[in-house]
Amino acid sequence: MVTPIDRDGRLAARSVVTLMGWSAGQTMDLTTEPGPIVVARTGRTVRINRRGFLRLPLAVRRTCRIAPGDRVLVVANQRHGELLVVPMAVLDDMVDAYRRSHDIGDER
């Protein structure tokens, strides 16, 4: 799912949080990796707010260069109990790397 980030760092879409079985007040750990942000179920870093929104703290948004209004790809990995939040710039880089590794030229 692609969703925007608001000025307070909230993911606009709550349906992915619900899909994961997470609810208001539940605490999560955010791990910033090269590329996506992994949001794990266990931990104490952030809390899903009372309205069911997951908020990315400012430090995480700065590290990942996510600005208010930016869209991110949110992928639920239910098997591992995590969400991957991928900024569009990272997704562009992933697609470029795939195209280069498969010798797919720009055929426009």
**Which pLDDT tens digit goes with each residue over 54-95?**
999 999 999 898 999 999 999 999 999 999 999 998 888 888
Q: Count Cβ atoms below 10 Å from residue 9 Cβ, excluding itself.
A: 18
pTM of the model: 0.84
Among 82, 94, 74, 62, residue whose Cα is nearest residue 20: 82
Domain segments of the chain as ranges: 2-101
**Which pLDDT tens digit goes with each residue over 3-50?**
999 999 999 999 999 999 999 999 999 988 887 777 777 788 899 999
